[in-house]
C-alpha cells in the first residue's frame, strides 16, 4: 500500500496479483475493501491496481471540489507514478464506472477494456437528489454510524444484506471509517453535482461491458442497455440482485469479468 499525490489529493493505492494491469475503482461510500470477494480470483490473471477515491478509505479531505474528469486524470497520475505501463483494463463500480468512462473516452490508447458495474451515467432525478441531500445532512449532523444501515441497505438491497451479513459489514465499515469531511466533499462532487456523462460514450473505443443488477432501481437494465448501445464495442449484461454493489459479493461475477477480459484480448 502506498500514497500517491494526485490532482484530487493524496490517494491510497495497492497493487496485487500478476499479469496485465487492471485498475479497480470502487463505489461512492465504499473503498477498496469492497473488492474483497473478487480480488483473489481476479489477481490470478491481472495485476490489480486498487485505488481508494478521494475522501474515502484512509485518504485525507480533498483539496476542493472535483469532477469525474479530475478523477480520471488522477488515475493516470497514479499509473505514471507507480510505473504501470498502459493500456490497462478498467473495472469500476458505480462511481468507478463513471471515472472509467471518462478515462477511456479521454485516453483511448490507455484503456484496453472497460467494465462498469451498476453505473448510472445520468444526473440524479429529483427524488434521488432529495434522498442524497437528506443523507448528506444526516451525516453532517450526527456522523456516519447512525446512517450506516441506510447506506448499506441502499447499496446491497435489504434482502441481500440480511442473507449476507458479511457483505453488510464490509459496506458499513467502509462508510464509517472514511474521513467525514472528505466523504461529504465526495457526495457533493460526484453525486449531487455530477453532470450527465452519456455524451462521452461514443468516444469510448475500448471493448466495454456494462453490468447491472436485475432489480437495481438506480441503474436499471433498460438504461444500461441504452448506454452500452452508444459505445461502438459496447454490450450490457444483467446479473441477479437489487443493490448497486451486490454483484461484488457474488462469486459468479469474477467469472463474468475474467471471461470478458479473455474475449477482449
Q: What integer pLDDT is reported at residue 232 of this predicted model?
A: 97
Q: What integer pLDDT is reported at residue 39 of this predicted model?
A: 97
> With pLDDT > 70 as the criterion, what percentage of the chain qualifies?
100
If pLDDT is split at 50, 70 and 90, which confidence band does 150 have?
very high
If pLDDT is split at 50, 70 and 90, which confidence band does 240 have?
confident
If pLDDT is split at 50, 70 and 90, which confidence band does 212 have?
very high
Give the three cell numbers for residue 193. 453535482
Over range 243-262, report the average pLDDT: 94
Over range 29-48, report the average pLDDT: 97
Is the model's pLDDT at 197 over the cut of 80?
yes
Is the model's pLDDT at 265 over the cut of 80?
no
Nearest 5 degrees, angle CA 18-CA 22-CA 26?
125
Is the model's pLDDT at 185 over the cut of 90?
yes
Is the model's pLDDT at 168 over the cut of 90?
yes
Query: How far is residue 132's CA from residue 145's CA, in Å, rounded to a whole number?
Result: 16
| CB atoms inside a 10 Å sphere around CB 240 | 13
> With pLDDT > 90 as the criterion, what percentage of the chain qualifies?
93
If pLDDT is split at 50, 70 and 90, which confidence band does 179 have?
very high
Residue in the structure block whose three cell numbers are 445532512: 137
If pLDDT is split at 50, 70 and 90, which confidence band does 243 have?
confident
Question: pTM above 0.85?
Answer: yes
If pLDDT is split at 50, 70 and 90, which confidence band does 200 have?
very high
Is the model's pLDDT at 1 over the cut of 90?
no
Give buried/exposed letters for 145-159 (b at 16+ CB in 10 A, else e): eebbeebbbbbbbee
Residues near 83 by beta carbon (within 8 Å), at least 6 away in sequence: none
Is the model's pLDDT at 57 over the cut of 80?
yes
Query: How far is residue 119's CA from residue 107's CA, in Å, rounded to a whole number?
Result: 19
Is the model's pLDDT at 87 over the cut of 80?
yes
Q: What integer pLDDT is reported at residue 251 of this predicted model?
A: 85
Q: What integer pLDDT is reported at residue 50 of this predicted model?
A: 98
Q: Write down the mean pLDDT value for the chain.
A: 96
Is the model's pLDDT at 221 over the cut of 90?
yes
Amino acid at each position: 500500500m502506498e500514497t500517491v499525490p494526485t490532482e484530487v489529493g493524496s490517494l491510497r493505492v495497492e497493487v496485487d496479483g500478476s499479469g496485465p494491469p487492471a485498475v479497480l475503482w470502487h463505489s461512492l461510500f465504499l473503498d477498496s475493501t469492497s473488492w474483497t470477494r473478487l480480488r483473489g480470483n481476479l489477481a490470478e490473471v491481472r495485476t490489480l491496481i486498487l485505488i481508494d477515491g478521494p475522501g474515502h478509505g484512509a485518504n485525507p479531505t480533498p483539496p476542493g471540489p472535483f469532477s469525474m474528469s479530475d478523477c480520471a486524470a488522477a488515475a493516470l497520475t497514479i499509473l505514471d507514478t507507480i510505473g504501470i505501463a498502459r493500456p490497462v483494463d478498467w473495472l469500476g463500480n458505480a462511481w468507478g464506472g463513471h471515472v472509467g468512462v471518462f478515462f477511456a473516452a479521454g485516453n483511448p490508447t490507455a484503456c484496453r477494456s472497460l467494465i462498469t458495474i451498476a453505473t448510472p451515467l445520468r444526473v440524479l432525478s429529483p427524488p434521488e437528489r432529495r434522498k442524497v441531500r437528506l443523507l448528506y445532512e444526516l451525516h453532517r449532523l450526527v456522523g456516519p454510524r447512525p446512517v450506516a444501515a441506510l447506506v448499506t441497505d441502499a447499496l446491497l438491497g435489504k434482502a441481500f444484506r440480511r442473507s449476507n451479513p458479511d457483505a453488510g459489514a464490509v459496506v458499513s465499515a467502509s462508510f464509517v471509517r472514511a474521513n467525514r469531511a472528505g466523504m461529504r466533499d465526495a457526495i457533493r462532487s460526484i453525486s449531487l453535482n455530477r453532470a450527465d456523462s452519456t455524451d462521452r460514450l461514443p468516444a469510448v473505443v475500448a471493448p466495454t461491458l456494462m453490468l447491472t443488477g436485475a432489480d437495481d432501481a438506480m441503474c436499471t437494465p433498460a438504461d444500461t442497455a441504452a448506454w452500452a448501445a452508444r459505445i461502438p464495442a459496447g454490450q450490457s449484461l444483467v446479473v441477479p440482485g437489487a443493490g448497486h454493489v451486490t454483484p461484488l459479493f457474488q462469486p459468479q461475477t469474477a467469472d463474468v469479468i475474467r471471461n470478458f477480459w479473455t474475449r477482449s484480448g
